[in-house]
Amino acid sequence: KQEVTQIPAALSVPEGENLVLNCSFTDSAIYNLQWFRQDPGKGLTSLLLIQSSQREQTSGRLNASLDKSSGRSTLYIAASQPGDSATYLCAVIKTGANNLFFGTGTRLTVIP
C-alpha cells in the first residue's frame, strides 16, 4: 500500500524566510502528486499539481519538485508571509488507482 510521509509535522519560521516542506512516498509508480493547503476548520485548496512526467511546477512564490525514483517531493515557499500559516498536505495518485493517498501534513506558522 502507498504510504506518504511529511516531515516535519510542524514548523515555525520568522516572516521573510525561505522554507522547504518535504514529502516522501513508498511506491514510485505514481500518476501525479498534488500539494494542498488547509486553513483551520476549512477544506483543502489546491496549490500545485505535478504530473509524473514533470519534475517541477511553479506558482508565484511556490515551487514544487518531484523525484519519482527517490520517492520524494519538496514544496519551496519563498519570502514567507504570516498569511502562509496553514497546514500543507501532499497527496499522490498511484498508477492504476483512482484516489489520492495523503500525507498527514506539515503545520506551518510564519511569525510576524
Span 15-34, contacts to other proteins by CB under 8 A = 31-32, 34
Shortest distance in whole angstroms from residue 81 CB to other proteins? 23
Residue range at the interface with other proteins (CB under 8 A); choices 13-21, 61-69, 75-83, 88-96 = 88-96
**And the C-alpha cell for 12?**
515555525
Which of 18, 95 has the CB closer to other proteins?
95
Report, in Å, the least distance between residue 111 CB and other proteins. Answer: 23
Residue 51 makes contact with other proteins by CB under 8 A: yes
Is residue 63 a contact point for other proteins (CB under 8 A)?
A: no
What would the grid cell of residue 101 be? 493517498
Q: Which of 40, 12, 31 is nearest to 101 (CA)?
A: 31
Q: Which is nearer to other proteins, 41 or 112 (CB)?
A: 41
Q: What secondary structure does DSSP assign to 55-111, as a single string?
A: SEEEETTEEEEEETTTTEEEEEE-S--GGG-EEEEEEEEETT--SEEE---EEEEEE
For the chain, the distance separating the N- and C-terminal CA atoms, rounded to the nearest angstrom, is 41
Q: Residue numbers of the site for other proteins (CB under 8 A)?
A: 31-32, 34, 36, 41-46, 49, 51, 89, 91, 93, 95, 97-100, 102-105
